Amino acid sequence: MSGGTVTVGEAARLTGVSAKMIRWYEARGLLPPAARSAAGYRHYGEADIRTLQFVRRARDLGFDVEAIGELLALWHDRDRPSAAVKAIAQSRIAELRRRIAALEGMARSLERLAEDCCGDGRPECPILDDLAAGEGKPVKSG
Amino acid sequence: MSGGTVTVGEAARLTGVSAKMIRWYEARGLLPPAARSAAGYRHYGEADIRTLQFVRRARDLGFDVEAIGELLALWHDRDRPSAAVKAIAQSRIAELRRRIAALEGMARSLERLAEDCCGDGRPECPILDDLAAGEGKPVKSG
DNA sequence: ATGGAGCTTCCCACCGTGGGAAGGTCAAGG
DNA sequence: CCTTGACCTTCCCACGGTGGGAAGCTCCAT
């Protein structure tokens, strides 16, 4: 083989996916079983490395394992309709937007409360008051 | 009795914290061990219910169990400096902002890619191309 | 007294990741 | 040849929160 094959550790270094996670992805079926040496060591060729880089990038974009599996399948399918890929991306975008909105709501509430808290040595604290009173006052507009 | 005491299930209904989580919070030390009936049933009084509501509200604001524990302690301490509470809130805000920024970066990258993907029946797909090529092109400015 | 709702504890699962133990392998150096 | 140390293998455990469910007990209404 042109490029020579590498062990998990090397593959991890080359791709930024930890050896632990590489094995885990394989066990989960995200990656096909790696080739093994006589002694049982996993070995990765150039194509495997490219796959791992794909996985890493997808992971960095917030796709979960299942979605990455679907993306890999589409990647390998030369006849895929780009609409299928786009659909996955868009549902991920929607999920990300949902989570962002939830966190944003929390952050805004807390910022409002922290603003009202003088934050000195005195015990009066609107933050605790809010937590204690806590009528479902989600974020409101102001 | 003024309020009467209630069982876990009732407390769950009153506070929106599931019975399962109430037991778990107790096991984790977030809540003091509940009073028990002769038969071993947990019983909660009005103060306990208020505490659970406090916990629920704090949880909804994105505090983790450890932070909620600290907030509870400060809540019970009449001499607390409000600065201590504010500090916790602010570090939580910072954490939320960090997570929001990370998710926002992912969402923006994906949106950019999805925009470039015509999403029809043809196989050409800039999303997959990006995942495959994936040089660390984080989010950039656009 | 019986049925069913509700309680108890305990275990298992998820997701993605890391830590570490126990043991096998490989290459380098003595 | 043998040791050493880095690396590999598998397996188990943990995290944070949450839910599911089993086995067994209790309580209340009929």
pLDDT digits (tens, 9 = 90+) for B83-118: 999 999 999 999 999 999 999 999 999 999 999 999
Structure tokens belonging to residue B99 = 């997570």
User: What is the pLDDT at residue B131?
Assistant: 96
One-letter amino acid for residue B21 of the chain: M
Transcribe A38-82 into DSSP letters.
TTS-EEB-HHHHHHHHHHHHHHHTT--HHHHHHHHHHHH-TT--H
User: What is the pLDDT at residue B102?
Assistant: 95
User: What is the pLDDT at residue A140?
Assistant: 39
pLDDT band, very low/low/confident/very high, at B1 (cuts 50, 70, 90) = very low
* Residue B134 clears pLDDT 70, i.e. is over it: no
Chain B CB contacts of A82 under 8 Å are 117-125, 127
CA distance A36 to chain B (A): 25
User: Which of the residue ranges A92-101, A128-137, B55-64, B92-101 would you say has the lowest mean pLDDT?
Assistant: A128-137
State whether CATH 1.10.1660.10 applies to domain B8-62: yes
Residue with tokens 């950039």: B140
Rounded to whole angstroms, the distance from the CA of residue A64 to the C1' of nucleotide D14 is: 22
* Residue B137 clears pLDDT 50, i.e. is over it: no
* Residue A127 clears pLDDT 80, i.e. is over it: yes
The mean pLDDT of A107-128, rounded to a whole number, is 95
* Residue A2 clears pLDDT 70, i.e. is over it: no
State whether CATH 3.40.50.300 applies to domain A8-60: no
User: What is the pLDDT at residue A68?
Assistant: 96
Rounded to whole angstroms, the distance from the CA of residue B24 to the C1' of nucleotide C10 is: 13
Question: Cβ distance B142 to B109 under 8 Å?
Answer: no
Number of inter-chain CB pairs under 8 A, A vs B = 163
User: What is the pLDDT at residue A141?
Assistant: 38
Helix axis angle, A46-60 to A65-76, nearest 10°: 130
User: What is the pLDDT at residue B4?
Assistant: 80
User: What is the pLDDT at residue A4?
Assistant: 80
User: What's the mean per-residue pLDDT of chain B?
Assistant: 91
Chain B CB contacts of A76 under 8 Å are none
Rounded to whole angstroms, the distance from the CA of residue B137 to the C1' of nucleotide C10 is: 48
User: What is the pLDDT at residue B129?
Assistant: 95
* Residue A1 clears pLDDT 60, i.e. is over it: no
The mean pLDDT of A34-57, rounded to a whole number, is 96
User: What is the pLDDT at residue A100?
Assistant: 95
What's the sign of the alpha-carbon dihedral A66, A68, A72, A78? positive
User: What is the pLDDT at residue A8?
Assistant: 97
User: What's the mean per-residue pLDDT of chain A?
Assistant: 91
Measured CA to CA, the distance from residue B101 to residue B109 in angstroms comes to 12
pLDDT band, very low/low/confident/very high, at A133 (cuts 50, 70, 90) = confident
Strand C, nucleotides < 7 Å from a protein CB: these are: 6-9, 15-20, 24-26
